[in-house]
Amino acid sequence: MKMNRSNIIIIAICVLVYSVILASFGIFGSTIQNGLFYFFKNILPIIGIVIGYGLTIFIPIRVFQALERNKQIKADIENDKKLQNHVLKNKELENNIRNVLNKEDTLYD
């Protein structure tokens, strides 16, 4: 069986979660259990607050960038449609001119 990167990451996360659960029940000793509880009570909330502030700054910036990109894409599509319509009208005009000239040529022959 070939192990690709995503399977290895999933297995590593499962092992980490299982180890944390075992450590919280005191399987690895009371010292590790106390250190883990200290981490949960004091360090983890600070990390959560920092990540939350980061997301409150990052997400609106990404939304505004996406809106600008979509607006630019829509403008490009509209310009392409206008250009195609202009080209089609020019071709139609050229064909009409050719038809008129051909009719005139056949009248004088």
pLDDT tens by residue, 30-85: 999 999 999 999 999 999 999 999 999 999 999 999 999 999 999 999 999 999 99
SS3 (DSSP) at 26: coil
Residues counted in the chain = 109
Q: Is pLDDT above 80 for 1?
A: no
Q: How confident is the model at residue 104 (pLDDT cuts 50, 70, 90)?
A: confident
Q: Which among 8, 3, 32 is positioned nearest to 19, based on CA atoms? A: 32
Q: Is pLDDT above 80 for 29?
A: yes
Residue with tokens 């206008």: 82
State residue 101's pLDDT score: 83
CA 92 remoteness from chain centre: 42
43 residue type, one letter: I
Please name the residues in contact with 28: beta carbons below 8 A apart, sequence gap of 6 or more: 22
